[in-house]
Structure 1
Amino acid sequence: MSDLRSVSSNPHVRSKTTTSNIMMWVVIALLPATGFGIYNFGLDALIIILLSVASCVLSEFIYEKAMHKPITIGDFSAVVTGLLLGLNLPSTVPFWIPIIGGIFAIILVKQLFGGLGQNFMNPALGGRCFLVISFPAIMTNFVTDTYTGATPLANLKNGVEVNVMDMLIGRTAGTIGETSMLCIAIGAMILFAIDIIDYVIPFTYIITFIIFVGLFGGYGFNWSYISAHLAGGGLMLGAFFMATDYVTCPITTKGRYIYGFILGLLTGIFRIFGANAEGVSYAIIISNLLVPLIEKFTIPRAFGIKRVAKKEAK
């Protein structure tokens, strides 16, 4: 029995890059958006982020301890989930909201399906959508001492003129981490520079969305209008930090293009024709659910395999 080998789940690819390395770089890349969110919304934003991260880490530790499973909080995946969840919350939510969201994201979306690598959707977005459905009034309240009006996307949907430059910088209402397109872009460049993510999914997503908004938005290819859509809401945060999640996106190249196309199409449909001004979270979650089907039809044929004609088979 000494020859028994330990078999792990796929993919079986050896690399010096570890999960904890990748997750730490994602945390570093999120720091510009996090720092600006705290600067923009104040101490409440910091507390919400810390509560979100703490609830995710503690939920993972307690669950794995209770189930007698290896403790995996050292891979920093729970920290990333908590940070992304916190950045997707308004600074006005009660402090129990990130705690409930973190517990749901880690236990129901991640751990009950086998832990890291087995979850069927992005845990942070799963937690956020659960909170939006359960507490819609709380999750859509963006009124603070600094910003008292509706979000730029809500104004855009109602035909109200918005200041695109303020949206690029982040001087707008919204969730903690989505407001500054500039800070999100800086974080994305960090991930591109160290090959944590590639261009296929985010750029296919963004280009598809631009074409859709240009065709169906009612303003043609008005770049001021399109820029406001790109800078507003969680599109950039979703495109670079959540749609590219290794676990819930396709591994085939063709599949990644299809996945990005579906993301852009769904986000456009939700924003232009839906009742809600946002739509990124639901677009990513629905696309996550379609990944097994996408990979089924895009998996490359094994080398050396030839289809046998029916006559030859007989």
Structure 2
Amino acid sequence: MSKINPIAAPHTHSGTSTTNIMYLVVLALLPAALYGVYLFGLPALTVLASCVVSALIAELACLQLQGKRSLAALDGSALLTALLLAMSLPASTPWWIASFGCCFAITLGKQVYGGLGHNPFNPAMLGRVMLLICFPVELTNWQAISVPDIGAQGIMLNQAWLGIDGISAATPLADLNQLTNWQDLALGKHPGSLGETSALLIALGGVFLIWRGIIRPYIPLALIGGLFVPATIAHMLSPNEYASGIAHLLSGGAMLAAFFIATDMVTSPTSPRGQLLFGAGCGLLIWLIRSVGSYPEGVAFAVLIMNACTPVIDHYLRPKIFGAQSLFKRNKGV
């Protein structure tokens, strides 16, 4: 008797794979990550390298313990988690804290649930929140930008860029009301995490993902609207107390969340209506936490809260079955 391995339908293939998707997202993030290294220097590169190496080691160890293929560690999911976590951290974060956060994200945020496709929460944001709670001082110590000097004698690397005698500075989120230079916000010329380096580059990377069909525009547009609309209304009612909508969008990790974090296929709803509600909820929560909460940034908390709501959203806003009619229409037809 021949051995048959039945495979469930449908059998149509889109021509892509999980690995291709992951590496395309990594490619879209690279310009902003490299620009962050240019602005903050070797400390930023150390954070990126620490996250990538520790994430791959943790992924490989978990796969070995579960008896799975070791090559699955190279599918790009661990690399993407490491990159997202690194871009949400200050450039001055000690390497061991960044490594600890990545190990937590991979093991307890992803593999403990069964691996890729089974985790209910975004692993990178789980790692970010854990580090913020455990190491609040280190994760709120923002390094000032230290761009290399380019002159007639060539490129001159200052001590801050090399990681020597770095200068701390306040992130724009600490006082959004004072933000008036939109060009500096768009280009990331201010203290903050690597993911705050350039809202423009992050947005361009998000447009690239939409163009390639990796993500759909529902969540990014809904998150931007969910953050911009209440911020603008509050600013119009009390401009001295609340920052403008543009200030909220171009500062912090709002753009990174809109295009790269909230759009995670595993932890976000599947239907267009569900994605619109999910994105709008993320944007509203970000504004609420920033404006009236205890933390200056609310991206990680907002995404995790809405991740918990994803099963409920999928249940009540699932697409209608093709050809199905409502009970009212069926009774009317009879």
TM over 0.5: yes
TM-superposed CA distance for 1:2, in Å, is: 4.0
Runs of 4+ in structure 1 deviating by more than 6 angstroms, as ranges, are 10-13
Which secondary structure state, in structure 2, belongs to the residue aligned with residue 109 of structure 1? coil
- SS of the equivalent of 2:98 reads helix
Instruction: Return the match for 1:214 from 196, 221, 232.
Output: 232
1:195 positional shift? 1.2
Q: Does 1:150 align with 2:170?
A: yes
Q: Distance in 1 between matches of 2:125 and 2:191?
A: 20
Code of the residue aligned with 1:241 in structure 2: it is F
Q: Deviations over 1:149-183 (max 9, x none)?
A: 31111121xx4344322111111000022221111
Give me the identity figure in percent: 40
- In 2, the alpha carbon distance for the partners of 1:22 and 1:221 equals 42
2:76: which partner in 1? 76
Match of residue 301 from structure 2: 282
CA contact (8 A) 1:255 1:294 kept: yes
Deviation at 1:302, TM superposition (A): 2.4
Cα distance in 1 for partners of 2:12, 2:104 equals 31
Alpha-carbon shift at residue 12 of structure 1 (Å): 7.9
Is residue 179 from structure 1 mapped to residue 197 from structure 2 by the alignment? yes
SS of 1:136's equivalent in the other structure is coil
> Counterpart in 1 of 2:255?
236
Kindly report the root-mean-square deviation, in angstroms, between the aligned alpha carbons of the 2 structures. Answer: 2.5
| CA distance in structure 2 between the partners assigned to 1:237 and 1:11 by the alignment | 34
SS of 2:295's equivalent in the other structure is: coil
After TM superposition, the score normalised by the length of structure 2 is 0.85
Distance in 2 between residues matched to 1:13 and 1:246, nearest whole Å: 20
Count of equivalent residues: 307
Deviation at 1:131, TM superposition (A): 0.5
Q: Which amino acid aligns with 1:210?
A: F
Task: Select between 226-235 and 295-304 the one with higher mean Cα deviation.
Answer: 295-304
Distance 1:303 1:197, change over 3 A: closer
* Contact kept in structure 2, 1:219 and 1:225, CA below 8 Å: no
CA distance in structure 2 between the partners assigned to 1:32 and 1:129 by the alignment: 25
How many angstroms apart in 2 are the aligned matches of 1:114 and 1:38? 34
Checking the alignment, whether the CA contact within 8 Å between 1:86 and 1:176 is kept in structure 2 is: yes
Residue matched to 2:106: 106
**Per-residue displacement from partner, 1:27-70 (whole Å, max 9, x unpaired)?**
11001111110001001101110110111111111111122123
3-state SS, counterpart of residue 194 of structure 2: coil
Deviation of residue 281 (structure 1)? 1.0
- Structure 1 position 144, deviation (Å): 4.0
Q: Deviation at 1:283?
A: 0.5
CA distance in 1, matches of 2:282, 2:62: 32
- 1:197 to partner: Cα distance: 1.2
User: For the residues of structure 2 that align with 1:61 and 1:11, how far apart are their CA atoms?
Assistant: 31
Residue pairs, 1:75-94, within 5 angstroms: 75-94=75-94
**Secondary structure of 2:184's match?**
helix
Unmatched tracts of structure 1, length 5 or more: none
Please name the residue that 2:60 is paired with.
Answer: 61
Q: Which runs of 5+ in 2 are unaligned?
A: 147-166
CA-CA distance at 1:136 after TM superposition: 0.8
CA pair 11-169 structure 1, distance change in 2 beyond 3 A? farther
Distance 1:98 1:12 in 2: 41
Query: Aligned pair in 2 of structure 1 residues 11, 54: CA closer, same or farther (>3 Å)?
Result: farther
Structure 1 residue 140 corresponds to structure 2 residue 158: no
* Alpha-carbon shift at residue 128 of structure 1 (Å): 0.7
